[in-house]
């Protein structure tokens, strides 16, 4: 039997219970840092050392974190559904939980790239240092999509969303575009579920079931609700 296509858009909220801070909650990651300084090309040009320090620290935090029951629960859904994860997260917790199809919209913390050529990618587990260069001579920087940069993966993500039989959103405030716009690509009549400890507002959501719970509990409830689609 052909499995139904379950497309899941995740954000920082799914990793919150793994100890990784979200961006826009009051104790968010950006506290003490100005987004302009650490997550824009302008910030990089102004003070690359600060940017490297910021992401070197985050890389260590991600390495220490473990997938939680929400990541694991989404991976378990692969038994019954053709699950496609689209994540805004730069952590690797979906991978470590066992999900097989993961599209990273905003890059990955364990990858770095030449500042000249965005397609010259390398794995990185420890720190990136000023003076470390790629073969093209460009300074190495985190392979992360910063504000004001293009989001190259948005087109394949939109295609996935448009092909969804069921569309799920977990732990994103849906304020950062173009990622937030993906909900509009899901077919209007396909069943949609949103799991968030505080359900974000989205004017175009149609046929949606809201599960206002932390991700670990919410994904467990989602799995129960999805049984009726088998
Ligand atoms: N369980 C479920 N949801 C949670 C939990 C939790 N334990 N904790 C927080 N949330 C929810 C919040 O209610 C909020 O809706 O997760 C969402 C987090 O929102 P943001 O911090 O804005 O994160 P996100 O939507 O992923 O941000 C998008 O912004 O800064 C950029 O590139 C960065 O990918 C990021 C993008």
Spans of all domains in the chain: 1-20+67-106+151-230, 21-64+112-144
Residues 127-179: tens digit of each pLDDT = 999 999 999 999 999 999 999 999 999 999 999 999 999 999 999 999 999 99
Q: Strand pairing partners for 58?
A: none
Distance, CA 32 to ligand 1 centroid (Å)? 18
Beta carbon of 197 within 6 Å of any ligand 1 atom: yes
Spatial contact of 107 and 90, defined as CB atoms under 8 Å apart: yes
Does the structure show a pLDDT above 90 at 56?
yes
pLDDT of residue 226: 98
Residues 12 and 198: beta-carbon distance below 8 Å: no
Please state, for a pLDDT cut of 90, what percent of the chain lies above it.
90
Structure tokens at 225: 């609700």
Q: Does 94 qualify as catalytic in the annotation?
A: no
Q: At what angle do helices 215-226 and 69-76 cross, to 10 degrees?
A: 20
Cα(22) to ligand 1 centroid in Å equals 5
- CA torsion sign for 43, 44, 48, 54 is positive
Read off the pLDDT of each residue in 49-70 and give the average, rounded to a whole number. 97
Atom 14 of ligand 1 has which residue's CA nearest to it?
173
- pLDDT at position 31, please? 59
Question: Do β-strands 140-144 and 166-170 pair in parallel, antiparallel, or remain unpaired?
Answer: unpaired
Cβ partners under 8 Å of residue 207, min gap 6: 188, 189, 190, 191, 192
> What CATH class has 21-64+112-144?
alpha beta
**Position 29 confidence tier, pLDDT thresholds 50, 70, 90:** low
Q: How many Å apart are CA 58 and CA 108, to the nearest integer? A: 11
pLDDT computed for residue 26 by the predictor: 64
pLDDT of residue 202: 78
Judge whether residue 32 has pLDDT over 80: no
Contact 174, 199 (CB under 8 A): no
Give the Cα separation of 24 and 161 in Å (integer): 25
Q: What is the pLDDT of residue 34?
A: 86
CA 94 – CA 210 distance, rounded (Å): 22
Among the listed residues 94, 104, 106, 189, the single catalytic one is: 106
Of the chain, the percentage scoring pLDDT greater than 70 comes to 97
What CATH superfamily classification does 1-20+67-106+151-230 receive? TPP-binding domain (3.40.50.1220)
């Amino acid at each position: 039997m052909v499995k139904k296509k379950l497309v899941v858009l995740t954000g920082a909220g799914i990793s919150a219970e793994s100890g990784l801070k979200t961006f826009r909650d009051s104790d968010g990651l950006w506290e003490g840092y100005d987004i302009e300084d650490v997550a824009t090309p302008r910030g990089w040009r102004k003070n690359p050392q600060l940017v490297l320090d910021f992401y070197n620290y985050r890389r260590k935090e991600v390495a220490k974190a473990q997938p939680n029951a929400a990541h694991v629960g989404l991976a378990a859904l692969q038994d019954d559904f053709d699950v496609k994860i689209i994540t805004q997260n730069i952590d690797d917790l979906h991978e470590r939980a066992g999900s097989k199809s993961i599209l990273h919209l905003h890059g990955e913390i364990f990858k770095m790239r030449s500042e000249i050529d965005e397609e010259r990618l390398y794995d990185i587990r420890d720190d990136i240092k000023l003076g470390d260069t790629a073969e093209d001579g460009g300074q190495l920087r985190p392979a992360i999509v910063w504000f004001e940069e293009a989001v190259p993966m948005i087109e394949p993500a939109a295609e996935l969303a448009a092909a969804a039989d069921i569309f799920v959103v977990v732990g994103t405030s849906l304020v950062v575009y173009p990622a937030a716009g993906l909900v509009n690509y899901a077919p209007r009549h396909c069943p949609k579920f949103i799991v968030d400890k505080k359900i974000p507002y989205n004017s175009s959501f149609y046929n949606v079931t809201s599960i206002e719970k932390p991700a670990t509990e919410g994904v467990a409830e989602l799995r129960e609700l999805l049984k009726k689609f088998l």
